[in-house]
Amino acid sequence: MPTESGSGYNRENRDFPEAIGGIVSVPVRQPLFVRSPARLATGPVHVWRFGAGDELSDAEHAAAAKFLNEPARDAFVAGRSGIRRAAAIYTGLDPSELMVSTSAAGKPYFENADLHFNVSHSGGVVVAAFSGSPVGIDIEVPGRCRDVVEIARRFFHPDEAERCSCEDEFLRLWTAKEAMLKLAGTGLSGGIADARPGVDGRGEVGGRGVWIQRFRVGSCVGAVASFERFEVKGWFQI
């Protein structure tokens, strides 16, 4: 029986678990986390990996139909369906009862649940972070950036660019920055240079202090960010 700490949570290597895929399988509507938003409010973050699903609102079905690129549509559907299925477990609501709106800058949020989340997809992998306070998550699959040293030189602070001698270093920095900007809700319009992750799991975005945890999922490099000091207390999939 999975618990909040998540069986399979890798305590030896918790800043960088090898994978969250295949760790815990939770059936839809299992009332495992009912009442847990209160516990989530005190700092923990849960990270979920989503498979395919079809619990979309009419507006989301319409949005999905407009995608020309099939993998992008599948990722959108898996993400939107996944947040409903996971939030149903946290709240006890039916997936169809959860109302999702989007901020002016594009950050989705629940209108009728006191639960924060953020979604990221890359290379066919779809994840989301859930927390009692605002949260940001980003994953990137390696092998898509040709000249990481040049990108880092152009867009990163010189101190950061100096740390980017290979793609893995670059992606660790990039995902931390994107997770921070998605936490702040600005997305990339907030300016990739404005997000300044440190080397110690701390950072700053828009003048505010941020805590960051890095991880790997499948072949992707990832990062979660919160304004609160936090630990990822569970890695789950649905």
Ligand X SMILES: CC(C)(COP(=O)(O)OP(=O)(O)OC[C@H]1O[C@@H](n2cnc3c(N)ncnc32)[C@H](O)[C@@H]1OP(=O)(O)O)[C@@H](O)C(=O)NCCC(=O)NCCS
Binding site for ligand X (CB under 6 A): 76, 79-80, 105-108, 118-121, 138, 178, 182, 185-189
67 vs 163 by CB, closer to ligand X: 67
- Shortest Å, Cβ 175 to ligand X: 9
174 vs 236 by CB, closer to ligand X: 174
Scanning the chain, the segments in alpha helix (DSSP H) are: 36-40, 58-65, 70-91, 148-155, 158-163, 167-184
Looking at residue 96, what DSSP letter applies? G
- Shortest Å, Cβ 38 to ligand X: 24
Pairing of strands 202-205, 135-140: unpaired
8 vs 187 by CB, closer to ligand X: 187
Pairing of strands 232-237, 108-110: unpaired
- Shortest Å, Cβ 21 to ligand X: 17
- Shortest Å, Cβ 69 to ligand X: 12
Only one residue has tokens 């996971």, namely: 86
- Shortest Å, Cβ 84 to ligand X: 12
Local structure of 23: helix, strand or coil: coil
Phi (first) and psi of residue 95, to 5 degrees? -50, -35
121 vs 233 by CB, closer to ligand X: 121
Burial 187-216 (b: 16+ CB within 10 A, else e): eeebebeebbbeeeeebebeeeebbbbbbb
190 vs 234 by CB, closer to ligand X: 190
- Shortest Å, Cβ 32 to ligand X: 24
9 vs 136 by CB, closer to ligand X: 136
Query: In the bound complex, which residue of the shown chain has the CB atom lying closest to ligand X?
Result: 187
Local structure of 63: helix, strand or coil: helix
